[in-house]
Structure 1
Amino acid sequence: MGTRRATISDVARLAGVSPSTASVVFSGKTPVSDATRERVRAAAEELGYTGPDPRAASLRTGRSGIVGVVFEEHPGSAFLDPVKTLMMDGLADAVSPVGAGLLLLRDHDPVGTGPTLTTAPIDAAVLVGCSGLLRESLDAVRARGIPVVVIEGDAGDDVPRIVLDNREAQRQAASHLRSLGHTDVAIVALPAHAGWQPGWIADDTPLTVDVTRERLRGGRDVFPDAAVYGAGGSFIDEGLAAGRVVLADPARRPTAVIAQSDLLAAGVIRAAEELGLRVPEDVSVTGFDGIVVDGLTPYDLTTLVQPATEKGRAAGRVVAAMLDGGEPASISFTCMFHEGNTTAPAVRRTGAPG
């Protein structure tokens, strides 16, 4: 076949199935047997076929009108996070002028019944984070000539990135605590990697989630010996569970907790209240994001305010520019430190060690 791009008919012929059956395997619209699916995928791999050409979806425009969005976590969980919702609002706003809509995708489908990043007929892809299996899917996506932009992740030097000054911002919050006299500080972190189960993060724990790693570096720049507990996600309940562990032992209880999200911080505050601790008199708490957290009154959280909507809007503008043949540069955003009423000078407790 020389250098001609393999087609679905080529794959079907090699796999011994009809073209419609081979197409179904890639579209995920109709269930097929495991044996058939494996034959088709094996044939596709042998021929170097990476999926349907997204521009064949519309002969008139040469585009499908779809921008795929992939989160590292399950899409359902992602939308429980107000930060992700704000980013999606900005992204949708920026791609609408080019007539594109958003399609939430998974980077892989273990069941094999739905479209994924590597099979969906998309014009461009926006990856929210880039680690683990997502990096494995990236080569196949780019082989199809699909523009890719990453929000808060690193997919290589030639992939535009929308990034936040996570390390420097977190260092600001940590420095604020140090200026208040805190030396015994714990960190409640976001998940260390995909599939992370809540627990203490050791020095040799693989940190493949870029946001977690960079914010942890910022905290450790100021408090290198801070104990780190990794939550299962950015949720108030996860912060509550983490706070119960971190604050449980009076003899080892930190005087301040750096939470890597506002939702985690709200949960830590609830855990402190359960234990009869006053915030900030007994324990100071900082967050990260600058979102409105329902039920946090009378607390005004000390946090880092990030431009979540603008991050999404910037990603959309990059997508639009790439679809027009441009080569846009990466964009970096800066957080703003906000001092609320959840931090105060450290007070040595009666009977504290040292």
Structure 2
Amino acid sequence: MNARRPTISDVARAAGVSPSTASVVFSGKTPVSEATREKVLAAAAELGYLGPDPRAASLRRGRSGIVGVVSGGRLGSVFGDPVMRITMDALADAVAPIGAGLLLLREGSVVAGEPTLMTAPIDAAVLIGCSALLRDHLASVRARGIPVVVIEGDGGEGVPRIALDNREAQRVAAEHVRDLGHTDVVAVTMPFRWGSEAGWLSTDDERTTSVDVVADRLAGFRDVFPDAPVYAAVDSSIDAGAAAGRALFAGSGPHPTAVVAQSDLLAVGVLRAAEEAGLHVPGDVSVTGFDGIVVDGLAPYELTTLVQPAWEKGRAAGETVAALLAGDAAASHSFTSTFRIGNTTSPVAVTS
């Protein structure tokens, strides 16, 4: 049989102080003398007491202290994407003052027993993007009394949104390419449906795109190039961008003179594939990205891209969560991207 876990009362008895005095030594909420503090800590060490049980504090508050964060795609992609890391850091920073931490959840768990948006003991949920599957779950989550905030997506009426001008910004990049004289242009998108395979998008694929960010950026591209081909990558990474680029530049036939990528990581991958194919950037092919991140080893290139306020988005989401948990009204927030011209785009080459 396992030994009973020592309690704060056991520590107080061993130290010869009241339970309330022993408690404040660990909480730090009330000053105590150094002698008392040392006596209580020595008793705790001798008994093997590791501190207050966080579950008990959660029960007293009626909260778990956990904010669930759901992002489509693989969980590993969250840590591999600089924009996601910055957003998550800012979100964690904003909820820390209310004693909350983050729990990263899959959109739809495939592992038995793994916590999901529907089962995890969370106080609030932040959805990064909003797919059809997540929208199906939202009513049930809100019925549990759990506040929800959506970053770059639409959770429906009553759900605060942290919006980015995805369509408008992507349109600016497409217009830039068009104004440089490019007509043979291809868009490289993030997955149009989480878990989808890489490949060329059909009209039906575009119509059924279920990831808000992808749909909005594609709509901005379509505002300028309504009939241009579109290639969907398997995820937003340099490797996925390179795989897409190899498909675009395969063979000796005509290739696009410009590629509008939905993320900087995809754009860097496309750029690498162009180099592999013996093409010069931007002389043979112009490439644009989206995000404005720092990519190590990219020199001498500086991407033409949209710089988005990733930290501000995450911070706004966290502050909105804190307001909702305090019972306050929470408004939606909108952010804009800044177009930055680098050296990866140039006028279309004139052939004789």
Q: Tell me which interval the TM-score lies in, with the shorter structure as reference length.
A: 0.7 to 0.9
1:170-200 per-residue CA deviation (whole Å, 9 max, x = no partner) reads: 0111111111111111111111102110000
Q: Which residue is equivalent to 1:208? A: 210
| In 2: Cα distance, 1:115 partner to 1:178 partner | 47
- In the alignment, structure 1 segments of 5+ residues that lack a partner are 1-54
Q: Which residue is equivalent to 1:335? A: 337
* Runs of 4+ more than 6 Å apart: none
The reply to whether residue 172 of structure 1 matches residue 176 of structure 2 is no
Normalising by the residue count of structure 2, what TM-score does the alignment of the two structures yield? 0.81
Q: Which residue among 254, 271, 286 is the counterpart of 2:288?
A: 286
Q: Which residue is equivalent to 2:102? A: 102
Partner of 2:102, secondary structure, is strand
How far is the alpha carbon of 1:213 from its aligned partner? Answer: 0.8
How is 1:236-275 mapped onto 2 (pairs within 5 angstroms)?
236-275=238-277
Q: Which residue is equivalent to 2:80? A: 80
Q: Which residue is equivalent to 1:13? A: none
1:216/1:107 Cα in 2 relative to 1: closer, same or farther (>3 Å)? Answer: closer
How far is the alpha carbon of 1:267 from its aligned partner? Answer: 0.5
| In 2: Cα distance, 1:181 partner to 1:77 partner | 35
Partner of 2:60, secondary structure, is coil
1:131-187 per-residue CA deviation (whole Å, 9 max, x = no partner) reads: 132222222211110000011111102101111100100011111111111111111
Q: Which residue is equivalent to 2:234? A: 232
1:70-96 per-residue CA deviation (whole Å, 9 max, x = no partner) reads: 111122222111111010011011111
| In 2: Cα distance, 1:310 partner to 1:71 partner | 18
Look up the equivalent residue of 2:282 and give its one-letter code.
P
| In 2: Cα distance, 1:172 partner to 1:250 partner | 31
The reply to whether residue 324 of structure 1 matches residue 308 of structure 2 is no
Contact preservation (8 Å) 1:322, 1:328: yes
How far is the alpha carbon of 1:111 from its aligned partner? Answer: 3.0
Q: Which residue is equivalent to 2:89? A: 89
How far is the alpha carbon of 1:249 from its aligned partner? Answer: 4.3
1:9-37 per-residue CA deviation (whole Å, 9 max, x = no partner) reads: xxxxxxxxxxxxxxxxxxxxxxxxxxxxx
Contact preservation (8 Å) 1:166, 1:218: yes
How far is the alpha carbon of 1:285 from its aligned partner? Answer: 0.4
- In the alignment, structure 2 segments of 5+ residues that lack a partner are 1-54
Q: Which residue among 218, 222, 225 is the counterpart of 2:224?
A: 222
| In 1: Cα distance, 2:114 partner to 2:241 partner | 33
Normalising by the residue count of structure 1, what TM-score does the alignment of the two structures yield? 0.81
Q: What RMSD, in angstroms, separates the aligned Cα atoms of the two structures?
A: 1.5
Look up the equivalent residue of 1:339 and give its one-letter code.
I
1:134/1:128 Cα in 2 relative to 1: closer, same or farther (>3 Å)? Answer: same
| In 1: Cα distance, 2:109 partner to 2:200 partner | 30
Q: Which residue is equivalent to 1:39? A: none
How far is the alpha carbon of 1:56 from its aligned partner? Answer: 9.5
Partner of 2:273, secondary structure, is helix
How far is the alpha carbon of 1:228 from its aligned partner? Answer: 0.3
How far is the alpha carbon of 1:327 from its aligned partner? Answer: 2.0
1:100/1:248 Cα in 2 relative to 1: closer, same or farther (>3 Å)? Answer: same
1:216-236 per-residue CA deviation (whole Å, 9 max, x = no partner) reads: 111111111111000001100
Larger radius of gyration: 2
